[in-house]
Amino acid sequence: MIKEVRTKMSKIGDYAKDYVSESTKNISDLKEVPTDVELEDDEFEVKDKQTGKTEVVKQKIITLNNEKYRVPNSVFKQLKVILEDNPNLKKFKVKKSGTGMETSYQVIPLV
């Protein structure tokens, strides 16, 4: 005989009000980004809906105020060009436009 164990936590409405999704935000969500912030490797698993296989997705992130922000590769490419002309740049911001596969990013140096 299997014994079922249940634990009461809270009411669903109370839990939903306090719920915080554990997701990585995007660097474009920030008003400004310091050029000296530490870059980290991160990865997560996704399941392919068609094949059912799980694959690991790797990404670069920064952490500010205990929040993780994904940094797309196109941001690195643009920032490299900007830093070649302005090696003393301290801050920049990223503008995002489009959605899905049509997403693009624009790196804007800040004074």
The residue among 19 and 96 whose pLDDT is bigger is: 96
pLDDT digits (tens, 9 = 90+) for 19-51: 776 678 999 999 999 999 999 999 989 898 899
The mean pLDDT value of the chain amounts to 90
Q: Is residue 101 helix, strand or coil?
A: helix
The three-state secondary structure class of 56 is: strand
**pLDDT confidence band for 9 (50 / 70 / 90):** low
State the pLDDT confidence band at 14, using cuts at 50, 70 and 90: confident
Q: Can you read off the two tokens belonging to residue 95? A: 């503008």
Tokens found for residue 65: 């105020």
Residues whose CB falls within 8 Å of the CB of residue 44, separated by 6 or more in sequence, listed in order: 24, 56, 57, 59
Tokens of 73: 């590769």
- Nearest by Cα to 29 from 109, 86, 105: 105
